[in-house]
Chain A
């Protein structure tokens, strides 16, 4: 019988940084998205140094096509589009991350609490979530901005509040699924406290669709920022933001259609990069889908 108990040998696994590099090499989409977002991030940090012109300096040279001095032309007030695009990047990233951050900060704990505790807590939060979801989101955002005051930060907090019920509902369902898993029962028999069970078992196993949803919402927040700036509730002129640039170019669509390409494509690519990274993250976060290399 001791023969049956002979230890079985397992294979060594490579270090974490090695695995990260080999992941990037094998996943081109993730590598490109990550590179794009890194470039965008450095543009944001070094906007003052990199932009060839001031983003708010006006000139008489309005709605000009691209040339050597103005690489992407000028807008309706003769401001350099390329410089405004660069200066808009930090605004845009700040807006997206703020909105998603606020949504997560509210939605995640509320959803986990509702799912884990169940009973009347779940019933009550469920009603509140339903009420919030049945409200037209843009109206809600306008109401919150009205209450907090106009400005990018406030309008993005409003967008975050609009995001929170959907996120709460998503993590609630996942929590309910995971909390009935046997390893949660096992942890209870070890005398683990409920808070620690949530932190060590439920959160890591329930968070995956949430992360993917968050990256998708980063893209949605980008567009929400554009809409709210369009309505005059977001970034205040002359501060540039991509949404606001797109909104302005809309007014000159017939005279100078090329105006909307720069901010429009910037928004599109950034949203795509967030989405692609989210998709790739989903695959890499799941150890059962990870190849045992």
Chain B
């Protein structure tokens, strides 16, 4: 793609869970993408699409069953355990549920200081100071230091989680539905905070979400995930304005539009049926059971993951030839702008 070394990349990554002797759940299956330094890479998918598992694999919380995760071109699993512990501090994650991500028995200061305690590169007093600075940076007053997580609101807890990963000065932060558990007004606060921090520290984000509004607002490039596979990837504007894959099209048209029904231009695409079981995905194209354009070819042959337009990838036999609609994305974008 470009001469730049990708900061995070996956090569045919698969994360499989053995459910019983004969059934294997392929939560992530043959996923390949590059994330370049300084960009915000969005990953969209509905629940059960494997996006959270993918995010966990990117920060080495799940070991790949197939393929590779590469951090700056190197496989972190080739490192010794000790080296991996050192290395992974550079690749941090903000989880969806801030309630569960903080130890209920630790004060806020201790939680924020924890990554520094593990690194043990500076004396205690300095660690406290850096932790307090990080808290201040995310808008938490020093009075919170001695409190416990249950005394904070969801938004405050998510700020604590962000402050905590900031203390390590990571180059990559994976935000796994980082705002999904919060009120819409707080979501905007947190998204703005993340944008500010990106400018300030030159962070690279991988933003995992089901919320198109969030992705459209914050991402440079997006990838769309369906049943463990990527179905489309490209520049955010290109994907949102001219989706190549019918699934992306359906997702876009499902986004609520802030207009009265008679003024809406686009037709809604209603997906019928449920997400098929990832244990036994449909033959050929995985989306064919819910696709309104499905042909015999789709059941017979798996579509190739190909670059249909420059920088715009899709996995569909008929990519670029289908009369897919496009719709403007509304939602959080306006609130934040």
Chain A residues near B (Cβ < 8 Å): 1, 4-13, 181-183, 185-193, 196, 200-201, 204-205, 287-288, 290, 292
Contacts and interface: CB of A to CB of B under 8 A. Distances in A.
| Nearest 5 Cβ contacts at the A-B interface | A191-B85, A7-B141, A10-B143, A182-B100, A5-B139
Contacts of A186: 93, 95, 101, 161, 164
A189 B61 contact: yes
A201 B97 CA distance: 18
B144 A288 contact: no
Given A191-B85, A196-B118, A288 B104 contact: yes
Contacts of A5: 138-139, 189, 193
Nearest to B99: A182
B1 to A, nearest CB: 28
A131 B85 CA distance: 39
A183 B103 contact: yes
Contacts of B115: 190
B192 interface: yes
A61 B59 CA distance: 80
Contact of B101 (A8, A9, A182): A182
Contacts of B61: 185, 188-189
A9 B93 contact: no
The interface centre, meaning the residue of B92, B115, B161, B193 with most chain A CB atoms within 10 A of its CB, is B115
B91 interface: yes
Interface stretch (B148-156, B240-248, B261-269, B292-300): B148-156
B148 A287 contact: yes
A204 B105 CA distance: 7
Interface in B199-228: none
Contacts of B146: 10, 12-13
Nearest to A4: B189
B119 interface: yes
B147 interface: yes
Given A4-B192, A10-B141, A189 B150 contact: no
Given A191-B88, A192-B118, A11 B103 contact: no
B104 A205 contact: yes
Summarize B's interface: helix, strand, loop or mixed: helix
9 contacts: A5-B189, A10-B141, A182-B95, A188-B61, A189-B92, A204-B105, A205-B105, A287-B104, A287-B105
B97 A182 contact: yes
A284 to B, nearest CB: 13
A201 B114 CA distance: 11
Given A182-B97, A183-B102, A288 B150 contact: yes
Nearest to A204: B105
A290 to B, nearest CB: 8
The interface centre, meaning the residue of B86, B118, B141, B148 with most chain A CB atoms within 10 A of its CB, is B118
The interface centre, meaning the residue of A11, A13, A186 with most chain B CB atoms within 10 A of its CB, is A186
Interface of B: 56, 59-61, 84-89, 91-93, 95, 97, 100-105, 114-115, 118-119, 136, 138-141, 143-144, 146-148, 150-151, 156, 161, 164, 168, 188-189, 192-193
A124 B192 CA distance: 52
A95 B144 CA distance: 45
Contacts of B88: 189, 191
A10 B150 contact: no
Given A10-B151, A182-B95, 17 more contacts: A4-B139, A4-B192, A7-B141, A8-B139, A10-B147, A13-B146, A182-B101, A183-B101, A185-B61, A185-B95, A186-B93, A191-B87, A204-B103, A205-B104, A287-B105, A287-B150, A292-B151
B94 to A, nearest CB: 9
Contacts of A12: 143, 146
Contacts of A205: 103-105
B239 to A, nearest CB: 27
B141 A9 contact: yes
A185 B143 CA distance: 27
A10 B114 contact: no
B93 A189 contact: yes
B98 to A, nearest CB: 9
A55 to B, nearest CB: 46
B118 A183 contact: no
A183 to B, nearest CB: 4
A7 B192 contact: no
Contacts of B141: 7-10
Given A10-B141, A287-B148, A288-B150, A190 B89 contact: yes
A173 B118 CA distance: 27
Given A186-B101, A288-B150, A9 B143 contact: yes
